[in-house]
Amino acid sequence: MSRPSTLLRSSILLLLAAVALPLLGRAAPAQDVGEPLCGDCETTGKVEHAHSSSALEQEEGVIFCSAFMRSDPEALGMDWIVCPKCRTPSVQESARAEFDREFGRRKKWLEDREANVDAHAGHEVEHIRTKHFLIAFDLPKIKVGRRVLRTHDAMHLYAERLEELHAQMLMIHGITERNTAGLVHEIYIFEKDLTTRRVGNHVLSAGMGSGFRKSQYGRTSQHITSRNKKDFRKDEDFHQALVHSVSHLITNEIGIQKTWLLKRYGWVHVGMAHWFEIRNFGPPNTWCHQEQGNFVHWKGDSWEANVKKALAAGDEVKFQAIVGRASETLDSKDHQFAWSFVDYLMWLDPHKMVKFLTLLKGPQLEDRDALKEAYGITVGQFVDGWTDFVKTHYSARPGKGPRVLPPKGSG
């Protein structure tokens, strides 16, 4: 058999290079005719830029992480670099253009965060961007059980916790991303009140004021807080407070955004946040800055028992007296009954809550009309049903810890 011609051999090699799977699964750029192939990069123009397996595992699912990027000035966390000895100039040039675009995107993100947060904080802050959250974080360490996590690891833990909360809320309501506004929630977590105020006065359109925790709703969804150890002695306490505050942000992105629950439907605003707090942790520990006064329990920290006993004594908060009020007008007793009213609706059908929220925030219906359209009940039926629900399902001596009451009809 005669050997293939030089032209045929070159054509075969070019064909093989074009269809072969390149490094890291990326399509091989087309090279100029007559250029040699490169054995170092398999004619992709790219070679692997290695990271430790533990680093890759930690960064999985993360879009940007400042600590990871800052530790890798050569590639800012990318998993490849341009082949430095590429024998195929056109392919190398194409790879370099792609690298420069991605490197520039990462560099700009980091520089923007440093200019908008670090510069106002007065020190280096770490940042992480996940699917639903953009987090700034400067806690030096946290203690979780017996483990002590330094800043980078602690930030990743909080990013995971918030993504888990987002997924939980959508799952419980039986909705998908299509039922939300698709917002990226900005969360700022600082060690000191002074840092919180400095950054808050820059990033919040209304400013920070003198507090150490504040949220802002709208097309920009933000929450800024400091780990005030006087109020949050343990990491679990601070985690719980953050769940309360961030659940406000997630609830407000469900459905149409035309008004905010806290202004006209305060009982829903506070009740939903306390509901997720109690579901995940147990007795609440948080009032938001928009909610009245410092945190204090009415009649003790067992809200279930407090509501049941008050109802039995005829001392309950009347539903008709709580509707139409802004969240800042609700006192500690109102908060407990607001939670219980929401608890009843979530027990009836958590999937109908999405329509209820949408009707409140979009058409801004009266509470009674929203109840009728979303749940098919009148105010009278709501009150009667809630009364029977509390008498039947609440305990005067409930257990400690998270409280999960299966929805009606779940078996």
- Pairing of β 141-144 and β 147-150: antiparallel
Tens digit of each residue's pLDDT (9 = 90 or more) over 283-308: 998 876 555 556 788 988 899 999 99
Q: Which long-range contacts (CB under 8 A, 24 or more apart) does 293-299 make?
A: 293/331, 293/332, 295/231, 296/332, 297/332, 298/331, 298/332, 298/333, 298/335, 298/336, 299/333
Residues of the chain with pLDDT under 50: 1-27
Predicted TM-score of the model (pTM): 0.88
Q: Which domains does the chain have, with CATH numbers?
A: 54-67+121-254 (3.40.30), 259-411 (no CATH)
| pLDDT at position 217 | 87
Tens digit of each residue's pLDDT (9 = 90 or more) over 156-174: 999 999 999 999 999 999 9
Tens digit of each residue's pLDDT (9 = 90 or more) over 323-377: 999 998 999 999 999 999 999 999 999 999 999 999 998 889 999 999 999 999 9
What CA–CA distance (Å, rounded) separates 271 from 341?
Answer: 7
| pLDDT at position 19 | 38
